[in-house]
Amino acid sequence: MFKFFALLNRMKYIKRWSLMRSVAEENIMEHSQQVAVIAHALAVIKNKIYNGNVDILKTVMLAQYHEAGEVLTGDLPTPIKYFNKEIQLAYKDLESLAEDKLLKMLPDELKDEFSKYVKADTSCYEYLLVKSADKLSAYIKCLEELKAGNSEFKMAKNTIEKEIKSKNIDEVNYFFDKFIPSFNLSLDELE
């Protein structure tokens, strides 16, 4: 009996934004799906508009599994995770151990295939797109909370927006300019 997929199914119980009062709760399963959709868009934009050569499938799969280890560690809030270098490095080690434990829950003949997404090569361009999609997802969450009247997310929105813009990545800027404004619309305005 192998427990990999049963454990991943529990991602829906791991809440994000645990230190923030949220109008709508978000879990890491929902978040991973949204990041995969955005990362896919970024890869397509890079290839089609900016003549890139990004591996779209790799990008989407890295995004789908980018939070997999958190099913064992939980979602550590950003202010704690990045409080100082020692905590950041310790958490990276913890994430790596969690990913290793998760991969041990697969049959040997499947481990290599899943390992390349669960234990991502963080130096590849596809991973940069996933991290950018992760930030865009967080920004969208802030917009949704602010639209619902929750000013708790005002500072987070501003901080994340500055970080996104400071990276100056063409496909991210394109997505931000062309698609992000529509997240402020009501359902009637979207139709």
Contacts of 68 (CB under 8 A, 6+ apart): 8, 11, 99, 102, 118
Percent of the chain with pLDDT over 90: 83
Residue 91 CA to residue 97 CA, distance in Å, equals 10
Query: Per-residue pLDDT averaged across 22-29, rounded?
Result: 94
Residue-level pLDDT at 169: 98
At 86 the pLDDT is 86
**Mean pLDDT for the stretch of residues 153-168:** 97
Residue 58 has pLDDT above 80, yes or no: yes
Rounded mean pLDDT, 21-31: 95
Assigned CATH for 4-19+26-184: 1.10.3210.10
What local confidence, expressed as pLDDT, does residue 76 receive?
72
- Mind giving me the DSSP string for 92-129? HHHHHHHHHHHHTTS-HHHHHHHHHHHS--TTSHHHHH
Q: Mean pLDDT for the chain?
A: 94
What's the pTM value of the predicted model, to 2 decimals?
0.93
Residue 90: band (very low, low, confident or very high) from pLDDT cuts 50, 70, 90: confident
User: Is 78's pLDDT higher than 90?
Assistant: no
Is the pLDDT assigned to residue 35 strictly greater than 90? yes
